[in-house]
């Protein structure tokens, strides 16, 4: 990898101790890392790039940003049903960031890697006159043929989600002063959901271990938009039940304040929950964190939602699109 002015020292000081836990990294001291696949396993690989003030708020703490960079990628590994094993980080730090910021970022990144038991295989550290950016490539392992795909949904399946939806978008609204619930606990909860995604690795790995047909993806861009990607990949449609969509107490408080917040819950991104489709009996085996929210139909790309009044509407990428009849 290209070592640029100052990079070598930064890597040695802050990232080498993180990478030393991983045999693959060659302690960041060679041109490339080397890793071996476990027998009868495949490697899944995913990549997400995050840019300051586009994908995260530049004023957020380096610790929160570091964890988010790691976790949004681990969420993709979870969506494949794989176990994360390592990451490669390309970090472009704005050249005016103080070294303290980079130290805090590296420390938090290392701690989160340790918490998720993933190695830092290598990377590149550069300086940029523009906004900071972080591009992470993450690796996971999965027994051959077991990966959860988007194209596995079939008519008659149920569709389900992990956790609760909409919290992250509502958290961002709180941070931006667009939502005030007059309740510090609700605010803390929602902001933390925005800052600190919880990749659903256990649910993904459990689904893959069933060795049954389960379709999965992670909801990064919002339920309304992302469900259409499964619809397209599987050539199916959906009927969702609004009253089944799982909400946190804090999101419910926002809804109670103004039902307009349903748009955030249906179309807001950044939750990093999993969307899963399969036989009802298989989905039921995924545990209490998984909630069925509707069914899979044989109407390609038709995504309908039955609202609280029993009225059917089309769920467009932006949210509700009530029929004009």
Contact present, 131 and 58 (Cβ < 8 Å): yes
Of positions 9, 13, 20, 34, contacts a second copy by CB under 8 A: 34
Per-residue x/- marks for a second copy, 162-181, CB under 8 A? --------------------
Contact yes or no for 257/199 (Cβ under 8 A): no
Is 115 labeled as ligand-binding?
Answer: no
- Residue-by-residue DSSP string for 103-131: HHHHHHHHHHHHHTT-EEEEEEEEEESS-
Among 23, 103, 126, 244, binds a second copy (CB under 8 A): 126
* Structure token pair of residue 98: 């103080």
**C-beta separation of 71 from 110 below 8 A:** no
Can residue 293 be called a binding residue for a second copy (CB under 8 A)?
no
Q: How far apart are CA 76 and CA 92, in angstroms?
A: 22
Q: Does 309 bind a second copy (CB under 8 A)?
A: no
> Which of 37, 185, 235, 301 is the binder for a second copy (CB under 8 A)?
37
Is 124 a known ligand-binding residue?
yes
Burial code (b: 16+ CB inside 10 Å, e: under 16) for 87-115 equals bbbbbbbeeebeeebbebbbbbbbebbee
Based on the shown chain and the rule CB under 8 A, indicate whether residue 51 belongs to the binding site for a second copy.
yes
* Coil, strand or helix at 106: helix
- Shortest distance (Å) from residue 78 CB to a second copy: 9
**Is residue 289 a known part of a binding site?**
no
Nearer to a second copy, 106 or 142 (CB): 142
| Interaction between residue 218 and a second copy (CB under 8 A) | yes
The answer to whether 191 touches 60, Cβ cutoff 8 Å, is no
User: 72, 85, 113, 283: which one contacts a second copy (CB under 8 A)?
Assistant: 72
Does residue number 33 form part of the binding site for a second copy (CB under 8 A)?
yes
Q: What are the phi and psi torsion angles at 139 (to 5°)? A: -120, 140
Q: Which stretch binds a second copy (CB under 8 A): 40-48, 107-115, 154-162, 181-189?
A: 40-48
- By CB under 8 A, tell whether 55 contacts a second copy: yes
Among 6, 9, 30, 284, binds a second copy (CB under 8 A): 30
Of 189 and 199, CB closest to a second copy: 199
User: Which residues, at least 6 apart from 320, have a Cβ–Cβ distance to it below 8 Å?
Assistant: 262, 263, 266, 305, 307, 313
Question: In terms of residues, how long is the chain?
Answer: 325
Collapsing DSSP states into helix, strand and coil, what is residue 184?
helix
Q: What is the DSSP string of 243-254?
A: GGS---HHHHHH
Taking the complex as a whole, the smallest distance from the CB of residue 104 to a second copy amounts, in Å, to 21
Return d(Cα 246, Cα 318) in angstroms, integer: 19
By the rule CB under 8 A, 29 interacts with a second copy: yes
User: Which residues lie near a second copy (CB under 8 A)?
Assistant: 1-4, 24, 26, 29-37, 42-51, 53-55, 72, 76-77, 79-80, 82, 88-92, 121-124, 126-131, 133, 135, 137, 139-140, 142, 144, 147, 149-151, 216-218, 220-221, 229, 233
Binding residues for ATP: 123-124, 150, 220
């Amino acid at each position: 990898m290209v070592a640029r002015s100052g990079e070598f020292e930064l890597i040695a000081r802050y990232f080498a101790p993180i990478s030393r836990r991983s045999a693959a990294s060659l302690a960041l001291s060679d041109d490339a890392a080397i890793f071996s696949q476990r027998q009868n396993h495949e490697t899944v690989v995913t990549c997400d790039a995050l840019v300051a003030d586009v994908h995260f708020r530049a004023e957020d703490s380096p610790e929160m940003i570091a964890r988010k960079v790691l976790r949004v990628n681990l969420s993709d590994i979870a969506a494949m049903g794989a176990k994360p094993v390592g990451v490669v980080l390309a970090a472009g730090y704005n050249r005016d960031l103080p070294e303290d910021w980079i130290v805090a970022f590296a420390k938090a990144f290392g701690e989160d890697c340790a918490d998720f038991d993933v190695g830092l295989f290598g990377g590149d550290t550069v300086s940029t006159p523009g906004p900071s950016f972080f591009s992470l490539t993450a690796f996971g392992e999965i027994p051959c043929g077991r990966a959860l795909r988007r194209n596995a949904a079939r008519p008659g399946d149920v569709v389900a989600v992990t956790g609760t939806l909409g919290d992250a978008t509502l958290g961002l609204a709180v941070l931006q002063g667009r939502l005030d619930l007059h309740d510090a606990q609700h605010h803390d909860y929602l902001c933390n959901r925005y800052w600190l995604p919880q990749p659903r690795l256990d649910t993904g790995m459990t689904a893959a271990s069933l060795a049954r047909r389960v379709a999965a993806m992670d909801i990064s861009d919002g339920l309304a938009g992302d469900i259409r990607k499964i619809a397209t990949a599987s050539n199916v449609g959906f009927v969702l039940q609004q009253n089944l969509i799982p909400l946190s107490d804090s999101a419910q408080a926002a809804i109670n304040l103004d039902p307009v917040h349903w748009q955030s819950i249906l179309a807001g991104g950044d939750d990093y929950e999993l969307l899963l489709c399969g036989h009802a009996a298989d989905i039921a085996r995924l545990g209490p964190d998984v909630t069925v929210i509707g069914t899979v139909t044989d109407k390609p790309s038709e995504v309908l939602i039955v609202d609280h009044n029993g009225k059917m509407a089309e769920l467009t990428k932006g949210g509700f699109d009530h029929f004009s009849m």
